[in-house]
Amino acid sequence: MTATATDNNGNTSEFSACVTVQPAARLIVRKEMVGGVGAFTFTGTPSGTISVNGGTLTAEVVPGVYTSVEGVVSGWDLVGIVCDDSDSTGDVGTRTARFVAAAGEVITCTFRNVKRGRIVVRKVTEPNPDPTNTQFSFTGAVTGSLRNGETLVGDNLVPGAYVVTEVVPSQFELVSISCDDGASSQPSSGDVAQARAIFRVDPGEAVTCTFTNRLKRANLVGVSFFVQSEAARGAAVHASAEGARGVIVVDAVQDQVRVFLNAGDGTLRPGQTILVGREPVAAAVGDLNGDGATDVVTADFQSQTLTILEGVGDGTFRRRRALSVPAKPMAVAVGDFDRDGRADIVVVYPDEGDGQIFRGRGDLTFVAGQRVRVGRRPVALAVADLSGDGIVDVAIADAASDSVIVLVGRGDGTFVPGGEVTVDREPVAIAAADLDEDGRVDVVTANVRASTLSIVRNEGIAGSRLRLRVAATVPTAEQPVAVAIGRLFSDGVGIASAGSLAQQVWVHAREQSGRWGSRQRMNINAVPTAVVVGDFDDDGRLDLAVLDVTGSTLQVWLNGETGVFRRRQ
């Protein structure tokens, strides 16, 4: 290259010069996002915002040293800065890439960010809503207390494993822990025995684990049993609530049975307390050894036993034995299923979807008999001669399939499927009686989610199957959990249902038109869990006994001459 120069005197001269032009360098910031997408802002060189995974910022620069700094984005962690040449470096602590650019060099520094996760603990109770409004405490990765339907959230969590444990209240049982990330390569899991969930959180993942608890309700069974003065007169004994000489309270929290004796004046006085198996949830009564006195059998859910209590004949009982069963029993009833004159036992296992017969030897011992499939979650049963052949049958409420399933007895201790009918949502209680006085035994269910009663009419048998039809769906006290039938009125049969959410007992009757309606709604001012029919003041009219969910309050409602019930105790 030639150049001309002029001095101060005006003289000019020419000279040659050499100039070297260096090519520019290119700097690239690349963004890698794991677990989601965010907007990341950079200052320095290059600068700008990247809001797509794999997005880049570019700057053309002369050779030199340059820095680009990533701003902080909530919920994201910068886990690495990697540059593709040997001179440039990244510092995660200062969130900075340092480019050392030579002429013509192209350098890429990749910022890798991982999105934090979230865990959610959700509480569900059975029944739902929770009539006790209990608070459930949790410890671990998230802490706090929940009521039914509420959630606890742990946010901005680094991907990894987290443990949350429930402190299970004594009146509840933890029945399941389910997590919603089953498609993950390392899904979260629940351990019911340890009452804990192990959350395995992937980048950007939100995992919900639902803890489901079932209320250990106290239950109520009406019984008749001899007192000594009656035994001396040779009075007949019937294992039913009519003419009840007492009631049995089955307490699942304290693992015991409490006896209340009928004073004959509309009050029930406390009697014996007897320890049984773990978490008794139901009981049935009958003469299990043929001595004329009423005995009791309890279904013990957690210990998977049936506890046999022998009646002495004076209103007291003694524990005789516990019979192990193959699964957790939810309901129990007594009947002579093989027509040998000795009482047998039938139970249902809700977790297995089965029912089973135990044939009595007449000496308070039993032999395991037929086990049969009875739906998806059988929770209640009633025994009666539904087919009209003189042989006892079984009707079962299946809460999962919203149905009543009938097993027709053969008379030899075995059963065949006898029909099924769909009722309203989630039947949890069942009773059997001739509701329309046509000579055939009908069925009624209490449907907790629908707050209704389903009146199932028995229209006779064809072959081995009953013709069952829902004749009426009757609104009742909100969230009914118990039902009882008896001749409550001078003009016919009545149905009493206990509504846990309403804290009421409704009494229903069949009107002259044939329709079912409510004749009385009684405010219990507690959460009722069971209702039983019996004559508690010896006036020949059937009264009601109502138990609250804790088992601490037992109310007696006496039936007046006009069929109106008034609280006595």
Would you give the DSSP letter of residue 450?
T
Domain boundaries, the chain: 25-111, 117-215, 219-335+352-373
Q: What CA dihedral angle connects 463, 465, 466 and 470, to 10 degrees?
A: -140
pLDDT of amino acid 14: 65
The CA distances from residue 8 to 5, 12, 14, 16, 431, in Å, are 10, 10, 15, 20, 125
pLDDT of amino acid 229: 34
Q: Indicate the CATH number of 219-335+352-373 among 2.130.10.10, 3.30.565.10, 1.10.275.10, 2.170.190.11.
A: 2.130.10.10
Q: What CATH class has 117-215?
A: mainly beta
pLDDT of amino acid 429: 96
Sole residue written with tokens 């008999």: 369
Retrieve residue 402's tokens.
């919203």
d(CA 125, CA 468): 32
pLDDT of amino acid 561: 86
- As averages over each run of 10 residues, the pLDDT of the chain (569 residues) reads 61 61 92 97 98 97 97 96 96 98 96 98 88 91 96 96 96 93 94 97 97 87 51 29 71 90 91 94 93 93 96 89 96 96 97 96 96 95 96 96 97 96 96 95 96 97 91 96 94 94 94 91 92 91 90 90 90
Retrieve residue 370's tokens.
């037929």
117-215 and 219-335+352-373: same fold? no
pLDDT of amino acid 5: 57
Order of strands, edge to edge, in the sheet holding 268-275? 219-223, 246-251, 256-262, 268-275
pLDDT of amino acid 275: 96
Is the omega angle on the peptide bond into residue 169 within 30 degrees of 0, that is, cis? no
| SS3 of 53-64 | CCCEEEEEECCE
CATH for the stretch 25-111: 2.60.40
pLDDT of amino acid 238: 28
Among 279, 284, 285, smallest CA distance to 305 is for 279
Q: Write the CB contacts of 315 (distance below 8 Å, at least 6 apart in sequence).
A: 225, 227, 245, 246, 259, 261, 271, 272
